Structure 1
């Protein structure tokens, strides 16, 4: 009888301890998500969002560093929908020497954010739906102008869309130039 009582007591203690550790783990996970924001949500089953598309591309490491430096990761990880005109590393390399490094400095965060937001539109604008002369408002308040020539789609006459990737919260158009607001 004493052994049954002792076993029952041990079982109750184990159950209480395991319940407490589950509560602690869930509170820790909730705290981590709330501190990280939308970008901290782990989802390996859904289609990638626009940030995850860029992060997964070897050709967009400079853009990813810039988005991180401007603290725009969470904003671009939200539901959107967004159209992101994503300059490649080669596009950033075309800028005058020292430009990218200068913009990545903490004191240039607002300037960097303005430039990056000039690459983002609210809504989904598929490449095949863009028309010659179309003007699209950007997140920073500026506008871009689409032109079509020889089967190519250009933005502001300076950057060409070279590929498009659908994302869970919009579309990413890979471009070969950096768009600079007026």
Structure 2
């Protein structure tokens, strides 16, 4: 776990570096199907009720097709569910870090998730770069995690674990955040959109 003093120094220097190594839990999100002795790649589907809010036009920057072509922070910027998260990522100076990561899994809070936080508290967090960085990196795990590997404990880039429970198309993170749209692919990341902001343990 990163000490607060260390985290503050790193954030102030703009040098908060994400580990780029793949982890054991970062399994590929592609399934394989054998047909007549040949193996073909088959992309897994997005799931969850929140996926209905994602634009259907593949030419829209927020569509699944468009997001799959962009690195994760850029992909999120086109998604109408994630505009507050994108603002927070920019405020923390983490856009390039996320976009340049080799492979990550992001638990991305919706605008409504941020709206659950009293405005005065949210404004205070957005103004504190070190605290904001701590919270945002708690939402990121190294490696692309497929739905089949999602349940269990995952070490976040903040340094502490988060825990996912559930199966199929029904997952909760830390028993508080529901995955409302899961397995969203970007060029370098897999995104699970959640309905509550995750707070790292003290």
Alignment TM-score > 0.5, same fold: yes
Gap change, CA 1:79 and 1:97, over 3 Å in 2: closer
- Count residues with an aligned counterpart: 134
| CA apart distance, 1:103 | 1.3
| CA apart distance, 1:79 | 3.7
Look up the SS of the partner of 2:199 in the other structure: coil
| CA apart distance, 1:160 | 1.1
> Conserved in 1, the CA contact under 8 Å of 2:70 and 2:186?
yes
**Match of residue 173 from structure 1:** 192
Q: Which runs of 5+ in 1 are unaligned?
A: 1-43
**Match of residue 105 from structure 2:** 83
| CA apart distance, 1:151 | 5.2
Q: Choose which of 148, 158, 162 in structure 2 pairs with 1:128.
A: 148
**Match of residue 144 from structure 1:** 162
Gap change, CA 1:149 and 1:77, over 3 Å in 2: closer
Indicate whether 1:94 and 2:113 are aligned. Answer: no
Look up the SS of the partner of 1:95 in the other structure: coil
> Conserved in 1, the CA contact under 8 Å of 2:147 and 2:168?
no
**Match of residue 115 from structure 1:** 135
TM-score normalised over the length of structure 2: 0.63
**Match of residue 91 from structure 2:** 69
Structure showing greater radius of gyration is 1
**Match of residue 72 from structure 2:** 50
Root mean square deviation of aligned Cα: 1.8
Higher share of residues assigned strand: 2
Q: Deviations over 1:52-73 (max 9, x none)?
A: 2210111111100100010000
**Match of residue 3 from structure 1:** none
| CA apart distance, 1:149 | 6.9
| CA apart distance, 1:169 | 0.4
> Conserved in 2, the CA contact under 8 Å of 1:127 and 1:153?
no
Q: Deviations over 1:76-104 (max 9, x none)?
A: 01142000000000000111331221111
Q: Which has the higher contact order (CA 8 A, sep 6+)?
A: 2
Q: Which runs of 5+ in 2 are unaligned?
A: 1-65
